[in-house]
Amino acid sequence: MNPDGRTNAREVFNDTAAAAALRSRLLHYALRNLSEADAEDATQETLLALLAAPDGYRGTAQFDTYAHAVLRHKTVDVYRTHARELPHAPETIQAAIDRASETGSDADPQNDPAEQIDARRQAQWFWTTLGSCLRELPDRTRAVFELRTLLEIDLPVVCRQLGITRNHGGVLAHRARAHIRRRWPAAAA
């Protein structure tokens, strides 16, 4: 039996309060990485996957950990879908650029107005420059960089989801970082 007392998805979903709490935790995690609509979809797909294959959980970790692992895979699937649909910057990068431009997310409200304006400009410059560099990369290279570096998903998971070998994923991540290093000073000028 697992430390949290649950041996499979059926037991979790038979307890309405536990199921609602699990959904809330999954949605909170998904919102850190996806837009609201995509986070809702990924959370629902995760819950459906857990219900559809309740015996997939082997009990080697807490059920919550297993559910989050399934959600991470669903998140990668969303990014893969967006990478296929969008020839340029994926929605999350563009959203981050827009957010930094509009709100100056790095600005500390305790600072004086001049510091807030400077922080907003720096945030806008950073995200705009990064977005520009990423748009120049091939789709698969950009996807590896975003998933590995920005979302901090383990390289083996990224490679498995993108259907590439770990060595190839490492090469693509290296190429992306090298491209950004080469391009960064030119973008700053």
Indicate whether 52 pLDDT > 50.
Answer: yes
CB 3 within 8 A of CB 61: no
The domains of the chain are located at 1-85
CATH class of 1-85: mainly alpha
Pairwise CA distance, residues 113 & 120, whole Å:
10
Give 64-71 contacts, CB < 8 A, sequence gap 24+: 64/4, 64/22, 64/25, 67/22, 67/26, 68/25, 68/26, 68/29, 70/46, 71/26, 71/29, 71/30, 71/42, 71/43, 71/46
* Residue showing tokens 């560099």: 133
Pairwise CA distance, residues 14 & 184, whole Å:
53
Question: 10 or 112: which carries more pLDDT confidence?
Answer: 10
* Tokens, residue 177: 């970082």
Amino acid identity of residue 93, one-letter, is I
Which of 70, 59, 55 lies closest to 22 in space, CA to CA? 70
Residue 37's φ and ψ, nearest 5 degrees, are: -65, -45
Three-state SS at 28: helix
Report residue 21 CA to chain centroid gap. Answer: 21
Indicate whether 2 pLDDT > 50.
Answer: no
* Residue showing tokens 């994926």: 90
Q: What is the pLDDT of residues 109-168, one digit of tens each?
A: 555 676 767 777 777 777 788 888 888 999 899 999 988 888 888 899 889 888 899 999
Q: For the chain, give the percent of residues with pLDDT over 90.
A: 16
**What pTM was estimated for this model as a whole?**
0.45
CB 140 within 8 A of CB 164: yes
